[in-house]
Amino acid sequence: MKKVVLLLGLCFTYSPLLAFTDGPAQVQRHAQFLEYLKRWNEQFKFHQKQIESAKEQLKSLTGVRDIETVLSEIKRVKGGFESLIDEVSNVDNLLDQGFGSLDPKTRRIFQRHGIGQSCPKRDDRLKRLCEGRLVFEIGNMTEQDKILKETQQLIEKLNILAEGSKKAKDTKEALDYANQINATLAMLQAQDMRNNFRRQNEERIEKLARKIEVEIDFKKLTGNK
């Protein structure tokens, strides 16, 4: 599955209207800020398309055409959504336990929709490894979608603050806007860190899964099961 990388190009120090009497510099600074917003909005649309592409690949991987229904059912289960995302961050347990790592209600949703039917049946370890990867892919995509939506809300807030800062009547009001913008940018940085952690887990689960597969193959070749 393609990795979705959020390019948060807005995480920079922004001090709008601090030099309140410096008209030309103020206009230039504001124009630069709006350019950053424009660039991010373009990136946002690009990543939306990538997530849609990832969902199509997930349909192929799981054999479930209506993957949106599966995700909706998980979200309706109390704690199911959060539990799934938590499992994604615990890749060792996920690959070891497979569907056994899920809470009972979420596990029943997976089973009801036939997720995991394509996993090996004769080798229990390979079966759990396959199930773990499926859980990870679904949980990881769900997390990506959540990050993107929350980041969109922050960008929309920055747009509103940027427009408001242009109408600041005095230095105090301008500083209030500056503080709100910087606080929102800090939240964007937190989203960026969260996304980096998610990407690290993507790499980690692939390496760990390959390692486990090699170990299983070696045991079969040597007759140790």
Q: Which of 3-17, 41-55, 108-122 has the lowest mean pLDDT?
A: 3-17
First to last CA, the chain: 31
Asked whether residue 148 is assigned to any structural domain, the reply reads: yes
- pLDDT higher than 60, residue 9: no
The answer to whether 115 and 141 are in contact (CB under 8 A) is no
Question: How far is it, in rounded angstroms, from Cα 131 to Cα 115?
Answer: 8
| Among the listed residues 122, 125, 123, the one whose alpha carbon sits nearest the alpha carbon of residue 98 | 125
How many structural domains is the chain composed of? 1
Q: Which two tokens stand for residue 10?
A: 């807005």
The DSSP-derived string for 101-134 is: GS-HHHHHHHHHTTTTTTS-SS-HHHHHHHHHHH
Q: Which two tokens stand for residue 225?
A: 């099961």
Per-residue pLDDT reduced to its tens digit, 150-197:
888 988 898 888 888 878 888 888 888 888 888 888 888 888 888 888
40: domain range? Answer: 23-219
The DSSP letter of residue 169 is -
- pLDDT higher than 80, residue 28: no
The DSSP-derived string for 171-202 is: HHHHHHHHHHHHHHHHHHHHHHHHHHHHHHHH
Helix (H, G, I), strand (E, B) or coil at 79: coil
- pLDDT higher than 70, residue 30: no
On average, the pLDDT of the chain sits at: 78
Q: What is the pLDDT of residue 131?
A: 92
- pLDDT higher than 70, residue 19: no
Q: Which two tokens stand for residue 50?
A: 């990538």
Higher pLDDT, 205 or 85: 205
Asked whether residue 3 is assigned to any structural domain, the reply reads: no
Asked whether residue 144 is assigned to any structural domain, the reply reads: yes
Number of continuous H segments (helices) and E segments (strands) in the chain: 7, 0
Per-residue pLDDT reduced to its tens digit, 87-128:
777 888 889 999 998 888 888 998 888 888 888 888 899 999
- Exposure on the CB side of residue 27, measured as CA atoms within 13 A: 2
Q: What is the pLDDT of residue 137?
A: 87
Asked whether residue 38 is assigned to any structural domain, the reply reads: yes
Higher pLDDT, 90 or 23: 90
Q: What is the pLDDT of residue 129?
A: 93
* pLDDT band at residue 49 using 50, 70 and 90 as cut-offs: confident
Q: What is the pLDDT of residue 78?
A: 65
